[in-house]
Amino acid sequence: MKFELRSLAALSAAAMTFMGASAAYPAMQKDSLVASAADDTCDDWLHAKGSRLYDMNGNEVWLTGANWFGFNCTECVPHYLWSGDIDDMVRNIADRGVNVLRLPVSTELLYNWMIGDPDPIGSVNPNNDPSYPFNVDLLNSDGSVKNSQEVFDVLLKKCKQYGVKAFIDIHSPESNNSGHNYGIWYGKSFKARNGKTVEVTTDVWIETLAWCAEHYKGDDTLIGFDLKNEPHSTYGGAPVDAIWDDSNAPNNWKKAAQDCADAILDKNPNALILIEGVEGFEGHGAWWGGNLRGVAKYPVMPSSGTSQIVYSPHDYGPVVSPQTWFEKDFTEKTLLDDYWYETWAYLVEKDMYPLLIGEWGGRLDDGKNEQWMGILRDYMIKHHINHTFWCLNDDSGDTGGLWKDIQFSANRQDDGTVIGDTKIIWDETKYDTYYYPAIWKTLDSKKFIGLDHQTPLGVNGISLNDFYANYASKEGSNIDGGKKADGSIVEISTSPTGGDTDIFYGDANCSGEVKMNDAVLVMQALANPDEFGVGGTDDSAMTEKGALNADCYDPGTDLSNMDALAIQKYLLKSTTLPVYSK
């Protein structure tokens, strides 16, 4: 839940004034860096099995990306194209390790594309001069500005060139900078480009997404569709709440999502379908789009199966809105107990479906918001949860962005030509502390891992084929905190709470190794502490040392069934345990 506070007019005016002053120079087209040949084999589609995503070869992938909004707004174009060159920006995004972009759009935008009359956009080049080295890719040969769909196609081309994937998100029915406040996928009207007043019904919403799936099915740069941003309550003007059940009610998000998934997969069976939650389910509240409790009772079941389904909750910290689970000295365990586990985390903990946290992030406060961001960051890494950070833009009012400023400058050379360059200023503290650790990369060499089989992810990255051929078996990646392709775990030392240098996490019975007996002892000690707990009467009762070893899920907290589960998952080589002294 966020509010995109806007100062577009001032930003645009300032940007264009600056660029207009530079446009008087004699000019030539900007030289762009030569990238590897873009992969056009259309073989990068993904599918789900259990809680993981895989490529066509059965290799695990990890989507670690960011949001770039603007197509959903009245500008109908990604924000900051008035301040930066699209080639520079996408190249920089790839160089920073963003392997997928979530691109908010509106049903109105797709409708106008579908009828062949895309929305125009504002100027993205001083005087629309094809010879001036700024966004020349967004101009036609006569100097006119490309329309919104043409800009989208240029963006996909740039993503393909630099090894970045993308998926769209229906952020609102109509193009509206605050359209995310409206909680359902139908019920708004807009005046289409052909002059017709269009009411967004469920059928129109499905029709536009199915059209988009068919139109782009030959381009595996666009790998999926997030069906609706943050279904929620009547806040924002919706006539009814979005619900999740097994009814045929028009506001039943589960049924609408299933019908829409069927329509999309009929056109492109390889596309990922990202489904957000609702706000409330059976008396339990959540962030907008965050409540996936209903999946346990009423999963979305497309007719072709669930291999393309990814559930996509949103999660935010206390700077966005105070919540009861932040009213304590919270930890991973308390967040799981109070909110995360039953709301969405059970889907990965039980290996049911993949998750992609479609929005997370926030402002730095030196306090609880950063505490929450760090805990969620580590939980996503540990459980291989896909994610797209909210957001790149810094014009999101309650979260800010990974970018702090974008400036284009042009310099006249000795021969009279003009060379342009975009300076993108990142919030280095936010990036380094909270985003970079959760980007998919090799464990030792820190190479960013892309999702394209052929094209490396920017200048600092590698392709998917390169990773699995040359890195996976040697150093592995930060999936699951350090897992090699053969399933072996790269042990990463973590100093335990309390500093006991003899702790051997997972070894509950102090046998010198971790086995299923240890998980059994934990469960026995919890179920019958008088007999199997510390000081218990049974000969195999847990000792004080064993209790320290058994506290392996969230060291320093009370023993729980999560510790037994962590031991079992470790034995299945699907997670790591803290390692110390062994």
Residue 73 CA, distance from chain mean position: 20
User: What does the chain come to in residues?
Assistant: 582
**Is there a contact between 272 and 224 (Cβ–Cβ < 8 Å)?**
yes
The backbone torsions φ and ψ at residue 170, rounded to the nearest 5 degrees and listed phi first, read: -75, 100
State the DSSP H helix or E strand holding residue 104, giving kind and residue range, or none if neither: strand 100-106
Give the C-alpha separation, 159 to 100, whole Å.
9
One-letter amino acid at 34 equals V
Those residues whose C-beta lies under 8 Å from the C-beta of residue 485, and which sit 6 or more positions away, are 59, 468, 472, 473, 476
User: Left (φ > 0), alpha (ψ -120 to 50) or beta: where does 128 sit?
Assistant: left
State the DSSP H helix or E strand holding residue 262, giving kind and residue range, or none if neither: helix 253-267
- Decide: helix, strand or coil at residue 344: helix
Provide the pairing of β-strand 284-285 with 280-281: antiparallel
Give the C-alpha separation, 210 to 195, whole Å.
23
Q: Which residues are catalytic?
A: 230, 359
Structure tokens at 3: 């509010």
- Decide: helix, strand or coil at residue 579: strand
**Is there a contact between 259 and 301 (Cβ–Cβ < 8 Å)?**
no
The backbone torsions φ and ψ at residue 216, rounded to the nearest 5 degrees and listed phi first, read: -110, 15
